Amino acid sequence: MIDLGTPELAAKRAALAVDPTLSTCPLDLALSKNLIDCDTHTAAGYFAACRALVFGSPHPKALDLLRTSGSSSIPNASEAETRYRVACAALRQRGHGILGAVESFVVHERLPLWLLTNTADAARARTLDGLDVLVSWYRGRRRAA
């Protein structure tokens, strides 16, 4: 049997997302609510993986996702640092506050109010704009490989 958690946790997951398996972090929740597509989700996950190889994970987990989800596409630490810094430069170039919004959302997994209320505001615009930058960055990485 699979442990689905307490009834309270199951209810919380069901209330947050159409697909309760996509309710564990803001990025998954945005995918569940169709605010982003699978390419954006993948690009943001790759950005987070590169950052984790450079600085370590801000959220240690019992399961190392770098080893179980596409480990062949994860670069070594020196490549990760270069790729991470290129992505950061692109995010900074896009505008003030974009890098911070993306790192807060993707890396630190801070759940923004706009994601829960589905309202359009400046914070949402910065985050989604930054995620678009990551998609372009990620697609460029695939062409260069």
Angle at alpha carbon of residue 122, lines to 116 and 128, rounded to 5° = 70
Which one is predicted more confidently, 1 or 126?
Answer: 126
**CA separation for the pair 36, 115 (Å, rounded):** 12
Residue 109 domain-assigned (yes or no): yes
131: domain range?
A: 21-144
Which one is predicted more confidently, 33 or 91?
Answer: 91
Residue 58 domain-assigned (yes or no): yes
Residue 3 domain-assigned (yes or no): no
Whole-model pTM?
A: 0.76
User: SS3 for 59?
Assistant: coil
**116 in Cβ contact with 15 (< 8 Å):** no
pLDDT above 80: residue 111: yes
CA distances, 16 to each of 25, 30, 85, 125 (Å) = 10, 10, 33, 21
87 band by pLDDT with thresholds 50, 70 and 90: very high
Look at the chain and report how many structural domains it folds into: 1
